[in-house]
Amino acid sequence: MQGCNSPAHYTRRRLLTGFGGFAALTALASRGGAQTQQASVQTRSTAKTCIFINLDGAPSHLDTFDIKDAPWNAPDTDIVQAGRVTINKTIFPNFARMAGDLCLLRSVVSWEAAHDRGQFYMQTSHPANPAFLAESPHIGAVVAHEMGKAGSKLPPFLAFNGAPRGAAFLGGRNEPMNAPANQGGFSTITHPHFGDASEARFVQRYNLLEKLDAEIRRNPHDLQQANHASFYDSAKGMMYDPVITGVFRFSADDNARYGNTNFGRSCIVARNAVRSEQGASFINLTIGGWDMHQRMFDTGYPGNLYQIGRDLDRSVANLVQDLKDSGHFDSTLIVMMGEFGRTPGGLNVSGGRDHHKNAMCAAMIGGGVRGGRVIGSTDTNGANVKDPGWSQDRPIYVEDITATIYSALGINWTKSLTETPSGRRFEYVPYASAGQYTAINEVFG
């Protein structure tokens, strides 16, 4: 399937084969029999859905969520403060107004400083060890494995505006469904070519397909073939359903309000998926362009911080407001972060910032998170963590943020599966069962 960044023509065959990403919300693809181990922990269970916003390219913490009154700021920087939250109102005017909803983590560090490895680490909370790539699923796949329910109309793991890492060994039902985010939605989710008789004709032909494939369905040669057969049933279940059709469609007014951007449109469909309450538990949204090595404050340079920052600010602010209006804000956890931070102090000779792993930021909103809070701080230049600001008295790692997401969703972050292809124990969060990483309870107040 084409990415949702560009227009795509969806034929019936493309619709059915495209849904192979989540490949069956049915038992054939599930791993329910896997043995588990876990420690006893108290989860927060404050959220039903996580919307994870991947700031792909690694944003500068000093110019986003860890802004300081310093000489390297652009001349038009307007720092406003609400409680402990400080925001550059010039780039993030809406975040400045909704500071009471933001919880900023300013004492985060990364183990990685290269984009590919950093993205793998952020998306899985595991190191990119070549020996275990096939056993390191996206955290959204873990959420799908834990929270996906048979009979739900939507797959538990949705992805918009970019393709995240998949489910690895957890199986087809936990793969992300990379869906389009455009006003037309899935244009072939119905086939109106025969008027009122269209649905009946489709069902008739599908029933014929089931009869022809009956033996293969009963005795598949392998799990992949079983997944392929069962995902057809799941895809069929989404067709001719006005609720599902409505999830992937939106008005021109909404499109304009969210900024008429690819990211804005992905936020609208994510909003629709949450409001539909049809089984989406983890929704991954990607907004790229944060790899700003040069001219980040130059408004004449494509992809400058003003442009990308305001796109993020406008879309997320409207998403938050719409979720509040529909009553879903308190049960939806929104997380924003990239793969590492950016070099501290003044800009480089090209007017940008380079890679830096010793300090970065993340932001959380909704889903039981107490807003108007800042956890931790960095030193004067933003080079290193000065005050961790939480009970563990050490910097926050991606593993801790992952454990916090799991906790909010009611998932035991110390859990591990012992049935893997290699026989190696897969830990949801590495070393969490030994207490090395844990949920950041301070974000919940």
Instruction: Read off the pLDDT band of 24 (50, 70, 90).
Output: very low
Task: Check pLDDT > 50 for residue 79.
Answer: yes
What per-residue confidence (pLDDT) applies to 16? 41
Region 99-115: what's the mean pLDDT?
97
Please list, residue by residue across 412-422, b when 16 or more beta carbons sit within 10 angstroms of its beta carbon and e when fewer do. Answer: bbbbbbeebee
Of residues 169 and 100, more confidence is placed in: 100
Task: Check pLDDT > 60 for residue 158.
Answer: yes
Closest CA to 144 of 172, 123, 178: 172
Of residues 139 and 34, more confidence is placed in: 139
Supply 123's token pair: 């998306």
What per-residue confidence (pLDDT) applies to 18? 41
Instruction: Read off the pLDDT band of 341 (50, 70, 90).
Output: very high
Of residues 134 and 311, more confidence is placed in: 311
Instruction: Read off the pLDDT band of 243 (50, 70, 90).
Output: confident
Region 222-228: what's the mean pLDDT?
64
Closest CA to 146 of 19, 39, 45: 45
Instruction: Read off the pLDDT band of 235 (50, 70, 90).
Output: confident
Instruction: Read off the pLDDT band of 231 (50, 70, 90).
Output: low
Instruction: Read off the pLDDT band of 32 (50, 70, 90).
Output: very low
Question: What is the rounded CA–CA span in Å between residue 174 and residue 385?
Answer: 36
Of residues 114 and 7, more confidence is placed in: 114
What per-residue confidence (pLDDT) applies to 223? 59
What per-residue confidence (pLDDT) applies to 205? 85
Q: Decide the pairing of beta strands 385-387 and 36-37.
A: unpaired
pLDDT in tens, 286-302: 999 999 999 999 999 99
Q: Report phi then psi at 146, rounded to 5.
A: -80, -35
In percent, the amount of the chain with pLDDT more than 70 equals 89
Region 416-442: what's the mean pLDDT?
94
Question: What is the rounded CA–CA span in Å between residue 114 and residue 430?
Answer: 21
In percent, the amount of the chain with pLDDT more than 90 equals 68
What per-residue confidence (pLDDT) applies to 234? 66
What per-residue confidence (pLDDT) applies to 194? 81
Question: What is the rounded CA–CA span in Å between residue 249 and residue 184?
Answer: 6
221 close to 45: Cβ distance less than 8 angstroms: no
Least confident of 84-88, 92-96, 175-179: 175-179
159 close to 143: Cβ distance less than 8 angstroms: no
Q: What is the mean pLDDT of the chain?
A: 88
What per-residue confidence (pLDDT) applies to 100? 96
Question: What is the rounded CA–CA span in Å between residue 277 and residue 329?
Answer: 13
What per-residue confidence (pLDDT) applies to 230? 58
Instruction: Read off the pLDDT band of 17 (50, 70, 90).
Output: very low
Region 112-137: what's the mean pLDDT?
95
DSSP string, 306-326: HHHHHHHHHHHHHHHHHHHHH
Q: Which domains does the chain possess? A: 36-187+250-444 (3.40.720.10)
28 close to 416: Cβ distance less than 8 angstroms: no
What per-residue confidence (pLDDT) applies to 338? 98
User: What is the CB neighbour count within 10 angstroms for residue 118?
Assistant: 24
Strands (DSSP E) found in 156-269: 157-160, 177-178
Instruction: Read off the pLDDT band of 229 (50, 70, 90).
Output: low
Region 246-274: what's the mean pLDDT?
95
Instruction: Read off the pLDDT band of 438 (50, 70, 90).
Output: very high
Question: What is the rounded CA–CA span in Å between residue 334 and residue 364?
Answer: 6
Of residues 217 and 415, more confidence is placed in: 415
Region 241-263: what's the mean pLDDT?
92
Task: Check pLDDT > 60 for residue 7.
Answer: no
Q: For tokens 């979720």, name the residue.
A: 323
Radius of gyration from C-alpha coordinates of the chain:
22
Task: Check pLDDT > 90 for residue 285.
Answer: yes
Q: Report phi then psi at 108, rounded to 5.
A: -90, 140
Task: Check pLDDT > 60 for residue 25.
Answer: no
Of residues 112 and 241, more confidence is placed in: 112
Region 323-336: what's the mean pLDDT?
98
Question: What is the rounded CA–CA span in Å between residue 266 and residue 425?
Answer: 35
Q: For tokens 């039903």, name the residue.
A: 48
Region 104-114: what's the mean pLDDT?
98
Question: What is the rounded CA–CA span in Å between residue 235 and residue 275?
Answer: 20
Supply 184's token pair: 């037309």
Supply 325's token pair: 């209006």
